[in-house]
A = this chain, B = another copy of it.
Amino acid sequence: MTEIFAFGLGLARYSARGAMLDCFFPQPVLQPRGEVLQAIAELPAGTSNINADQAQAIDQAVGGGIAGTTFADATRKLVAVRLDTDAAIADTAEAYLKLHLLSHRLCLPNSLNLDGIFAHLPNVAWTSVGPIAIEELPEAITKAHLNHQQLEVFAVDKFPKMVNYVVPTGVRIADASRIRLGAYLGDGTTVMHEGFVNFNAGALGPNMVEGRISQGVTLGSGSDLGGSASTMGTLSGGGNINISIGENCLIGANAGTGIPLGDRCTIEAGLYITAGMGISLVDEFGEVMSTVKARELAGKSDMLFIRDSQNGNIVCRTNRKAIELNDQLHQHN
């Protein structure tokens, strides 16, 4: 039997008009083997609706706890998603399966093919009675008022929040509305109220996250992202540099970075490093070595960025070894 990339047995919800709104996979599987592989062998590739009997057999292998489910309601269905390869996303259920793979820590950010995700995720109203199609929302709000019910609308977005689908072990999340499904939160990670983690982004753990982890950005083990600290994303403003922050870094409150950082780097509170900035490199003896564009420091370790409070000069303190200055770097002085 050929190798399969990923599989999920899910519960999908639909609009009154029959459009899939979301799909919940209690137990997604990466590279299914053995019993699971056997149970799904005869399923077609991609997304398929299955009946309760089929689900029973698969669920037994997968262990998702949804065996024996029979949905009389047309707005809910059992679906099986078999991704034979990590190809571009072809429908809503596939998009949801990939987001689940990330939040279940089965795949790291930037390791999945997410092409087509925006096209295949519908914009949905996430409410206290579950997802509602946007076009059906005004009537739902009015009906709730007439029926003396409170319809709470939490978001109108393509991405739902993670914790309604997946709660990884060993994390604290102070305000769950700020973590999208598809975020990767490693063990030992605390996301405070001001923290934010986009889909396909994450904290590898353990981390203290009080700032914003943009799409595509990862925070290495032991690093702290201070309150309201910003990491430039690849979706907006960050251009073509993919930001990552290494291990044991400290990004101060209200600070930010537009360049990737290696390990043991610090940016002082309130300082935003953008890729095009000129930075004065100072060695361990306080000597200015050269002035370089910040982007030339991308990915290097043991850097301390501060803005000199006497003259406004943005300085990177490090040691010659840490920066591993090369000739090209020196030429910019």
Contacts and interface: CB of A to CB of B under 8 A. Distances in A.
Interface of A: 11, 24, 26, 64-66, 69, 73, 76, 123, 125, 127-130, 134, 137-139, 141-142, 145-146, 148, 150-159, 161, 163-165, 167, 169, 171-178, 180, 193-194, 196, 208, 210, 212, 214, 224, 226-228, 230, 232, 236-237, 250, 252-256, 258, 268-272, 274, 277-280, 291, 307-314
A214 to B, nearest CB: 8
Nearest to A212: B227
B269 A310 contact: no
Contacts of A210: 236
18 contacts: A24-B141, A69-B146, A73-B148, A152-B154, A156-B163, A178-B193, A194-B212, A210-B236, A224-B237, A228-B228, A230-B269, A256-B270, A268-B274, A271-B272, A280-B310, A308-B312, A309-B312, A311-B312
A256 B253 contact: yes
Contacts of A158: 172
B193 A145 contact: no
Contact of A176 (B155, B159, B270, B314): B155
Given A156-B172, A270-B274, A279-B309, 14 more contacts: A26-B138, A123-B172, A134-B169, A138-B167, A153-B161, A153-B164, A154-B175, A154-B176, A157-B172, A157-B173, A237-B250, A280-B310, A309-B312, A312-B312
Contact of A142 (B65, B174, B175): B65
Given A66-B142, A153-B176, A167 B134 contact: yes
Contacts of A270: 255-256, 270-272, 274
A36 to B, nearest CB: 18
A213 B301 CA distance: 32
Contacts of A145: 11, 24, 26, 66
B230 A230 contact: no
A250 B274 CA distance: 15
A164 B177 contact: no
A134 B256 CA distance: 33
A66 B252 CA distance: 46
Nearest to A159: B174
A76 B153 contact: no
Contacts of A236: 208, 210, 224, 226
A161 B173 CA distance: 12
Contacts of A11: 145-146
